[in-house]
């Protein structure tokens, strides 16, 4: 009986793990002290996960509007991105910055807290110095967000395989230096999602 009870408790614990939509609802309700790694991985495990989807094009529009100083347009594009991918780092960063400029300190603080939580989640997944200690990402945009957070610019990129996993090997440098360093990002989840997408396409669609 004890074993059965423990098994049931274990099963209930697994069932109680928040889904991606649960995390989104929590953050929108103001709960910011969440497990951001679990949040990111819940998105990657959800049917909404599209690392190569429409959000990628919108991210470019966010940055273009933000650099041009058009915060209303930047926030509007950020909202579009967050509707399909609420763990998109740059959307939260731009939202926080623009809201602060507009004097909306409380909403800016919340957006900034989510931005910091997501960046720290990626940075906490490794040190990026080798394939074995690579940063684990669920989107290409996370790679660029991390590089920006570390004040690095990309020099060269290559997709490599090592130990049965896929990695983006990024040669980077500080913005005020010519010294080249190398960072590794584990992209297994992106590669697996791409493979699933191709498998789900009919031969006619592929042609």
Using alpha carbons, select from 171, 185, 181 the residue that is nearest to residue 133.
Answer: 185
pLDDT for the residue numbered 112: 98
Each residue of 108-145: pLDDT tens digit?
A: 999 999 999 999 999 999 999 999 999 999 999 999 99
CA distance 127 to 183: 8
Residue 62 three-state SS:
helix
Each residue of 21-69: pLDDT tens digit?
A: 999 999 999 999 999 999 999 999 999 999 887 787 888 899 999 999 9
Mean pLDDT of 200-206: 52
pLDDT for the residue numbered 62: 94
Pick the CATH number of 21-124 from 1.25.40.10, 3.40.50.300, 1.10.10.10, 2.40.50.100: 1.25.40.10
Task: Provide the token pair at 186.
Answer: 């584990």
Using alpha carbons, select from 126, 29, 130, 132 the residue that is nearest to residue 86.
Answer: 29
The mean of the pLDDT values for the chain is 89
Classify strands 180-186 and 135-136 as parallel, antiparallel or unpaired.
parallel
CA distance 36 to 145: 15
Angle between helices 89-101 and 105-123 (to 10 degrees): 150
pLDDT for the residue numbered 206: 42
The CA R_g of the chain, rounded to the nearest whole Å, is 19
pLDDT for the residue numbered 194: 86
| Domain-wise residue ranges, the chain | 21-124, 126-199
């Amino acid at each position: 009986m004890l074993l059965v009870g423990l098994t049931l408790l274990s099963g209930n614990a697994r069932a109680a793990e928040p889904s991606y939509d649960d995390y989104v609802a929590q953050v929108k309700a103001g709960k910011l002290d969440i497990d951001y790694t679990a949040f990111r991985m819940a998105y990657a495990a959800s049917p909404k996960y599209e690392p190569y989807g429409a959000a990628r094009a919108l991210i470019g529009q966010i940055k273009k509007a933000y650099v041009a100083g058009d915060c209303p347009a930047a926030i509007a594009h950020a909202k579009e991105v967050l509707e399909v991918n609420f763990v998109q780092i740059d959307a939260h960063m731009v939202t926080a910055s623009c809201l602060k400029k507009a004097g909306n300190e409380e909403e800016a603080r919340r957006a900034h807290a989510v931005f910091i939580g997501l960046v720290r989640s990626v940075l906490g997944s490794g040190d990026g110095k080798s394939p074995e200690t690579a940063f684990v990402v669920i989107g290409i945009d996370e790679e660029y967000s991390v590089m920006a957070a570390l004040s690095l610019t990309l020099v060269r990129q290559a997709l490599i395989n090592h130990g049965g996993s896929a990695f983006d090997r990024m040669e980077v440098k500080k913005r005020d230096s010519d010294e080249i360093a190398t960072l590794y990002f584990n992209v297994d989840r992106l590669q697996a999602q791409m493979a699933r997408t191709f498998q789900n396409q009919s031969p006619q669609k592929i042609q």
